[in-house]
Amino acid sequence: MRWASASVLAIAFASSVGLAASGPEIRLHPGVTLVTGDTWIDGQNRYRLFGVQSCLRRTYFTNTTGRRLDCGEASMAFLAAFIKDTAPRCTAIATTPQLSYVVCSASVGDQEVDLGTALISRGYDFASLDQNGLPANPAYAVAEQQARRSKAGLWQFPDVQHPSLTLGEAATRARGERQ
């Protein structure tokens, strides 16, 4: 899959579910405060990549040398490197008072790259799921499956935990405690 076509798919999907680009271009630059591998703060504004779920902090994987590392920190480090190398441009597609959901792209060589696709296809982030357990962006789910099959990034470590499974288990426990 070409990067540009993945970006078009992400934007087309956002449009098809009633999300529309709004507001000025947002520059994702070194110096923003990374909260996770999919969320950052710039000044008073908080942003999150639409359809992307980073690895959760305080979940761990064991690297090839046997060292146990924080998965959320690995996702965040990869996002920081991508920001430093490409200075992505973002557009808000949905906004709440607390958060703007954005899609971002960057020029890499002679190609325009969708940031969500880049993070997921390299195996450092995952396709997020909606409240029905379906991918928020189907193109990202395809990128995740390809990364998983090729053991890209975090997928090379057999004990990496998919964040959607971890979040789902936590939600199930919370529902059980309320009953």
Q: What is the pLDDT of residue 22?
A: 57
Give the integer Cα–Cα distance in Å for 145 and 102.
22
pLDDT in tens, 27-77: 999 999 999 999 999 999 999 999 999 999 999 999 999 999 999 999 999
Residue 128 in contact with residue 142, Cβ under 8 Å?
no
Residue 61 in contact with residue 68, Cβ under 8 Å?
yes
DSSP letter string, the chain: --HHHHHHHHHHHHHHTT---EEEEEE--BTBEESSSSEEEETTEEEEETTEEEPPTT-EEE-TTS-EEEHHHHHHHHHHHHHHHH--EEEEEEE-SS-EEEEEEEEETTEEEEHHHHHHHTTSEEE-B-TTSSBSSHHHHHHHHHHHHHT-GGGGSTTPPPHHHHHHHHHHHHHHHH-
Is the pLDDT assigned to residue 145 strictly greater than 70?
yes
Residue that wins the pLDDT comparison between 178 and 54: 54
Strand partners, 61: 69
Out of 4-8, 79-83, 172-176, pick the least confident.
4-8
Average pLDDT (13-30) is 65
Q: What percent of the chain shows pLDDT beyond 90?
A: 73
Is the pLDDT assigned to residue 3 strictly greater than 70?
no
Nearest to 75 by CA among 148, 124, 115, 140: 124
